[in-house]
Amino acid sequence: MSDLTSKAIADLRSGFRSGDFSAREVATAYNAAVAAGRALNAFTVETPEIALAAADAADAARTSDDLKPLSGIPLGIKDLFATEGVDTTAGSNILKGFKPPYESTVSGKLKAAGAGMLGKLNMDEFAMGSSNETSAFGPVISPWKRRDGGNAALTPGGSSGGSASAVAAGLAAGATGTDTGGSIRQPAAFAGICGIKPTYGRCSRWGIVSFASSLDQAGPMAKTVRDCAILLEVMAGFDKKDSTSLDLPVPQWESGLSSDLKGQRVGIPREYRIEGVPVEIDALWDKGVEWLRDAGAEPVEISLPHTVHALPTYYIIAPAEASSNLARYDGIRYGLRELGDGGLDGLYASTRAAGFGAEVKRRVMIGTYVLSAGFYDAYFTKAQKVRTLIKRDFTQAFDRCDFILTPTAPSAAFALGDKSSDPIAMYLNDVFAVPASLAGLPAMSVPGGLDAHRLPLGLHLIGRELDEQGVLNAALAIEERAGFTHRAEKWW
């Protein structure tokens, strides 16, 4: 990594503002890193000219004293966000070549705040996956390697795997991600970076390709907690174009950062100690408790009894919503068209057979089944009732604590191909992440340490509704104490 591409966003911002370097120098360094990093397969589209144009605008703004919050900061945008005039495919063949004539609200806010776009980031198809292996563009490769003498290509996690890999490898200063059931937090943990999913409704979903609308939330992924706060402040905010957007002012999360946790209680859910999780992860969790205690917080044991049911609940609700959302891919209005046997129904069925990958088909099939006549109540309504109980667990837990600490994922990054033949083993990756998604709560992963193979492990903080500040502050306390400065050794 060159000096510029190893800097945090906060340092790029101050260095650019104080004249240590120009925005063009920053964008040029990142464009070069993107081009040199193609072995990671993190980008589906590179847009160096867009990054340079934003940089030139930032340099001009510096001269005229008209700086915006993200002037001079080059970002990667997950391919789930519609970007005007730039291919937006959600990692799917069915949207290959789709160039939206409009910009998603979140990416539009980042651009309006002066950020440059380096390109679109690879991801699991329609964000359905935890390893990036379902992408129509092929899997993203993690910059990290196991220190075991082997050379196995590891997953950066998913679905925001391109975002995680790009930030960890210094191909982008920060990135957008989206999280439906852990898709920001698990890849952030695997790649040794930070990522926050805000409260459901904080970030507008308008212009983000829909997966499961009651769960989908955008959030930032970046090297540090502060960088996440900086980006989230720009990304969040009311949008009349999203009916579930929260009409609330955006807090000043960055200036509110404080790692003094005196008087706060951190909840440790006993149900999150599950069998089969490596001892290193439990040990890191214990260390996390000590770090938070050192920051002034008091640990309390809590119970979230319905945790054990969260994954099966998720794997009814998310596919059900996906089967409905993905009905729009019909080969008529945009994307791929396959004529099939000639009739209109044949066109629909052939287009979807050719355009969707195996995991997307599997989920659309499950979703269609659980919503079909005769099974709706047994599966879908039942899952929505259990979701109420999962949400209630958290409400009751927050009577006893201010935020919750758990591991982010039940393992470190695994090798590509390791879990792709067993859908349920893959789904288990999100065992710690999914409950907060089902409850709509803000949650964040922050790097905590390395495992025996020198791969990153993350700690996971879950906060009360709308208390992103509490989550960020607890993450900051961990970040300061973990001293995680490890970076993947460059091999690409």
Partner 1 sequence: MSVDTATVRHIAKLARIAMSDADIDALVPELNNILGWVEQLAAVDTEGVEPLTAVIDQKLRLRDDIIDDGNIRDEVLANAPDAQHGFFAVPKVIE
Query: Among all residues, which ones are annotated catalytic?
Result: 78, 159, 183
Letter string b/e over residues 239-257, b meaning 16 or more CB atoms within 10 A of that residue's CB: beebeebbeeebbebbeeb
Q: Is 425 in the site for partner 1 (CB under 8 A)?
A: no
For 22, which DSSP code? Answer: -
| Out of 62, 265, 293, 361, the residue judged to bind partner 1 by CB under 8 A | 361
| Out of 29, 70, 261, 438, the residue judged to bind partner 1 by CB under 8 A | 438
C-beta of 277: minimal distance to partner 1 in Å? 19
d(CA 490, CA 181): 30
- For residues 125 and 360, the answer to whether their CB atoms sit within 8 Å is yes
Q: Smaller CB distance to partner 1: residue 141 or 318?
A: 318
Q: Is 383 in the site for partner 1 (CB under 8 A)?
A: yes
What are the C-alpha distances in Å from 305 to residues 267, 427, 429, 464? 14, 20, 19, 18
**How large is the angle between the packed helices 468-482 and 225-235, nearest 10 degrees?**
160
Q: Is 381 in the site for partner 1 (CB under 8 A)?
A: yes
Output phi, psi for 414, to 5 deg.
Answer: -110, 170
Task: Using the rule CB under 8 A, give the single segment among 38-46, 61-69, 144-152, 355-363 that binds partner 1.
Answer: 355-363
| Out of 15, 256, 278, 423, the residue judged to bind partner 1 by CB under 8 A | 423
| Out of 168, 228, 236, 246, the residue judged to bind partner 1 by CB under 8 A | 246
Q: Are strands 116-121 and 74-78 parallel, antiparallel or unpaired?
A: parallel
| Out of 74, 335, 357, 458, the residue judged to bind partner 1 by CB under 8 A | 335
Q: Is 204 in the site for partner 1 (CB under 8 A)?
A: no
Q: Is 247 in the site for partner 1 (CB under 8 A)?
A: yes
The SS3 call for residue 450 is: strand
Q: Is 356 in the site for partner 1 (CB under 8 A)?
A: yes
Q: Is 410 in the site for partner 1 (CB under 8 A)?
A: no
Q: Is 2 in the site for partner 1 (CB under 8 A)?
A: no
d(CA 416, CA 145): 12
C-beta of 76: minimal distance to partner 1 in Å? 23
Q: Are strands 174-179 and 74-78 parallel, antiparallel or unpaired?
A: parallel
Q: Smaller CB distance to partner 1: residue 95 or 167?
A: 95
d(CA 172, CA 86): 18
Q: Smaller CB distance to partner 1: residue 391 or 454?
A: 391
Q: Is 240 in the site for partner 1 (CB under 8 A)?
A: yes
C-beta of 475: minimal distance to partner 1 in Å? 21
Letter string b/e over residues 191-216, b meaning 16 or more CB atoms within 10 A of that residue's CB: bbbbbbbbbbbbbbbbbbbbbbbbbb
Q: Is 201 in the site for partner 1 (CB under 8 A)?
A: yes
| Out of 94, 106, 320, 439, the residue judged to bind partner 1 by CB under 8 A | 439
Q: Smaller CB distance to partner 1: residue 2 or 324?
A: 324
Residue showing tokens 């964008």: 27
Q: Smaller CB distance to partner 1: residue 95 or 474?
A: 95
Q: Which x/- pattern, by CB under 8 A, does the window 387-406 give for partner 1?
A: xxx-x---------------
d(CA 196, CA 187): 11
Residues 22-81 that bind partner 1 (CB under 8 A): none
| Out of 142, 160, 176, 199, the residue judged to bind partner 1 by CB under 8 A | 199
Q: Is 96 in the site for partner 1 (CB under 8 A)?
A: no
What are the C-alpha distances in Å from 309 to residues 11, 36, 143, 269, 368? 43, 44, 34, 15, 21
Q: Is 458 in the site for partner 1 (CB under 8 A)?
A: no
Task: Using the rule CB under 8 A, give the single segment among 109-117, 171-179, 280-288, 350-358 that binds partner 1.
Answer: 350-358
Residues 263-322 that bind partner 1 (CB under 8 A): 306, 309, 312-313, 315-316
Residues 6+ apart with CB under 8 A from 210: 216, 325
Alpha-helical regions (H) of 125-252: 161-168, 185-191, 225-235
